[in-house]
Amino acid sequence: MENPNNDRKNKKNNKNNRQGFGIIIITTLITLLLVLFLYQMRQDSQYEEITYSKFLKMVEEGKVEKVVIDTNRLEITLKEDEADKNVLGMATTYYTGRVEDEELPSKLYKADVEYEQKIPDSTSAILLNIFLSIVLPFILIFIMLSFVMQKMSKGGGMMGVGKSNAKMYVEKETGVTFKDVAGEDEAKESLQEVVDFLHNPGKYTGIGAKLPKGALLVGPPGTG
């Protein structure tokens, strides 16, 4: 017969599962927001916009090490001894709007500045970048949540991951007592003392007795 307390326990476990799921969702959202915030802070602190005239002045003063020519802007990396450090200890990369300046390549060449033209990303590269940076993390989070919820439903709550999902059963009243057992008086007496110890431990611990860890009963088949 299934323990009637299991119904109350199952209801409590279901409530714990819902609470645990809510905690996981909230924790995941907070983690995502924190990651996005740190990423944005890193981006904001790593890049700084300057005017085109200031960029040309940096080139003339020999402060520029490399220039990357993008579709609509120039990314400027200063030499190590000229570069400013942001709060994360990373060198600041400056950028300015791209201007139609036919003399720019010659100016960079004369100033011994390394420069390159960035090739626009293809559609497949853009889609791959979106998948790796946005879609894939959500897929991994979904898989993790599914795994955790499955373990929670089997293990009895958020802290029940890995626990046994076996149900507890209570044996019916048999009505059999020691008086119904014939013979084996010595074995019966020993078992009666064990039972009495369980009911009245103070009676035995007072004289230094300890409860045995178990009792081994032997006999022909059918006597168990």
User: Per-domain residue ranges for the chain?
Assistant: 50-117, 173-215
β-strand 73-78 against 47-49: which pairing, if any?
A: unpaired
- Would you state the pLDDT for residue 1? 44
Please give the mean pLDDT across all residues of the chain.
73
- pTM of the complete model: 0.39
> Both tokens of residue 44?
């904001």
The better pLDDT of the pair 56, 71 is held by 56
- Would you state the pLDDT for residue 143? 77
- Would you state the pLDDT for residue 57? 94
- Main-chain phi, psi angles of 189, to 5 degrees: -65, -40
The better pLDDT of the pair 112, 224 is held by 112
Split at pLDDT 50, 70, 90, the class of 11 is: low
SS3 call for 174: coil
Percent of the chain with pLDDT over 70: 61
Provide CB contacts within 8 A for 72, sequence distance 6+: 97, 98
- C-alpha distances in Å from residue 119, one per residue of 22, 73, 191: 45, 13, 88
Q: According to CATH, what is the number of the domain 50-117? A: 3.30.720.210
- CB neighbours of residue 152 within 10 Å: 21
Least confident window among 11-25, 96-110, 113-127:
11-25
Rounded-to-integer distance, Cα 135 and Cα 131, Å? 5
The better pLDDT of the pair 162, 14 is held by 14
SS3 call for 109: helix
Q: Tell me the chain's radius of gyration from C-alpha atoms.
A: 38
- Is residue 219 predicted with pLDDT exceeding 90? no
User: What mean pLDDT do residues 23-41 have?
Assistant: 72
- Is residue 189 predicted with pLDDT exceeding 70? yes
Split at pLDDT 50, 70, 90, the class of 61 is: very high
- Would you state the pLDDT for residue 50? 92
SS3 call for 126: helix
- Would you state the pLDDT for residue 20? 66
Residue 89, sorted as left (phi over 0), alpha (psi -120 to 50) or beta, turns out to be left
